[in-house]
Amino acid sequence: MSIVANDLADMATRAESEIAAAADEAALDALRVRYVGRREGEITKALKTLPSLPAAERPAFGAAANAARERIESALERRGGELRASALERDIAGAAADLTLPPRRVRVGRYHPISRTIREITRIFAGMGFEAVEGPEVEWDYYNFEALNIPPGHPARDKFSTLWVNAEGSMEVALAATGTGGRAVAEPSRRQPMLLRTHTSPMQIRVMEQRRPPVRVVVPGRCYRFEATDATHESVFFQYEGLAIDEQLSMADLKGVLYSFARQIFGSERKVRFRPDYFPFTEPSAEIAFDCFVCDGSGTTNAGRCATCGGSGWIEAAGCGMVHPEALRRVGYDPSQVQGFAFGGGVERLAMLLTGTPDIRLFHQNDLRYLESV
Ligand code: PHE
């Protein structure tokens, strides 16, 4: 090997130790420029002397220069890898050690007050033997009205401001799906309109069509009415329906079940009012109410007439009564063998009482500041 070639090898050795000692990426870059930079790098400068060498020495010199460049470049690459790895470790170690950073907020999900109330309602009725079931929100006129003794033109229809659905195309399919297990049941007329159910009472009929007594169900679910909203009314709201059919049920059982429910959900404080009412599908019928928690039943607050109960001092909680014999006959039950009671109430009314919410609209505005506070 010529002396010049030896010089190149020495230079590569020197470069290797400098590179191995480079403290950071900037120092490494400076060494890269100095040794293998394309214009002023040591290797480039050495190669520029090539033409002045004797022809016999040129191949060996060229080979030595290339070998030196390869050693330097692989040293650069190795050190570059080391520096990146330790920078990463430093970052990780630094982050783990910085206990002063505020933690990320963990948002834990929770039940909406309406869902909570439904769960509470179904839990209490489960304790009295009622199974929770659900039914369709888009309903036939037949189940929502006709089978409940509310034929077209009946004045009770005025109470239920109904949202109608134009479902011409889907009618036949849906009718075919309302199977009744071969029992004698009035067929819904094929020209029936559909609607958004105005109450959960259609499920009284649907459940009785599908089951034989004894029946005990509670049916929570969404209902719809075409109505202006105020502190206690929404056009989309929830009801819970109860239905019990057996051989020996009376009005006393109905009263006992609803009193027990009121006490379990509100404690013994709340006053309960039970008085006659009218529904086409129950006979006799009654209405149950609780005293208003805002004005404590007085009907007035400091601001004047109580907005929550409308000044009456009472919040109507549910309609109820003994299932009408006509409804029993319609589903193939024999009213001389079985009787039963039904009740239906607003879930939001109970949720308002339970959470002290003065306005039903607060439940549906999806304002987390409110929903997380109750
Ligand atoms: N469905 C009736 C309503 O919404 C309430 C009710 C249910 C009454 C069951 C009697 C029996 O007004």
Q: Based on the domain organization, do 30 and 164 belong to the same domain? A: no
Same domain (yes/no): 70, 181: no
Compute the distance from residue 287 Cα to the ligand 1 centre, in Å: 9
Give me the phi and psi of 299, to 5 degrees please. 90, -10
321 Cβ contact list (under 8 Å, min separation 6):
254, 277, 279, 281, 282, 283, 284, 285, 286, 341, 342, 343
Tell me the CA–centroid distance for residue 298 and ligand 1, in Å.
27
Q: Which domain, by its residues, includes 339?
A: 113-136+198-371
Please give the model's pTM, rounded to 2 decimal places: 0.67
The continuous run of DSSP H or E covering 205 comes out as: helix 202-210
- Name the residue among 138, 140, 135 with its Cα closest to residue 193: 140
Provide CB contacts within 8 A for 370, sequence distance 6+.
362
264-275 burial: b if 16+ Cβ within 10 Å, else e: ebbeeebebebe
| Nearest atom within ligand 1 for CA of residue 239 | 4
Whether 118 and 145 share a structural domain: no
Based on the fold, state whether residues 150 and 119 are members of the same structural domain: no
Structural domain count, the chain: 3
Kindly report the CATH number assigned to the domain that includes residue 305.
3.30.930.10
Coil vs helix vs strand at 242: strand
Q: Ligand 1: which of 277, 279, 341 to mutate, judged by most atoms within 8 Å of the beta carbon?
A: 279
Both tokens assigned to 131: 């199974």
Answer whether 320 contacts ligand 1 (Cβ < 6 A).
Answer: yes
Query: For residue 341, what are the β-bridge partners?
Result: 244, 322
Collapsing DSSP to helix, strand or coil, 118 comes out as: helix
Q: Among 90, 125, 153, which residue terminates a domain?
A: 90
DSSP β-ladder status, 300-301 and 282-291: unpaired
pLDDT the model gives residue 340:
97
Locate 1 and state its tokens: 């090997």
Give the distance (Å) from ligand 1 centre to CA of residue 242: 9
On whether both 121 and 12 belong to a single domain, the answer is no
What is the distance in A from the centroid of ligand 1 to the CA of 319?
Answer: 5
Same domain for 284 and 345: yes
End-to-end CA distance of the chain: 89
Please tell me the distance between residue 240's alpha carbon and the centre of ligand 1 in angstroms: 9
**Relative to the CA of 201, which ligand 1 atom is closest?**
1
Residue 285 belongs to some domain of the structure:
yes
Nearest alpha-carbon partner for 8 in 51, 49, 37: 49
Residues 206 and 192 in one domain: no
Same-domain status, 154 and 224: no
Could you tell me if the CB of 280 is within 6 A of ligand 1? no
Burial class of residue 304 (count of CB atoms within 10 Å of its CB; 0-12, 13-18, 19+): exposed
Residue 317 DSSP SS3: strand
**Looking at the structure, do residues 47 and 80 belong to the same domain, yes or no?**
yes
User: Does the beta carbon of 343 sit less than 6 angstroms from any atom of ligand 1?
Assistant: yes
**Do 320 and 285 contact (CB within 8 A), yes or no?**
yes
How is residue 233 annotated by DSSP? Answer: B
102 lies in a domain? no
77 and 129 housed in the same domain: no
Q: Quick one: DSSP state of residue 158?
A: G
Judge if 362 and 287 occupy the same domain.
yes
Runs of H (alpha helix) within 192-250: 202-210
Residue nearest to atom 8 of ligand 1 (CA): 319
Q: What H or E segment, with its residue span, contains residue 21?
A: helix 3-21
Q: Are residues 132 and 142 in the same domain?
A: no
- Give mean pLDDT in consecutive 10-residue pieces for the chain, a chain of 374 residues: 74 92 91 90 87 86 90 93 88 74 86 96 98 96 95 88 70 39 44 88 97 97 93 92 97 92 81 91 94 85 86 90 97 97 95 88 92 90
What is the per-residue pLDDT for 96? 67
Position 121 scores a pLDDT of 97
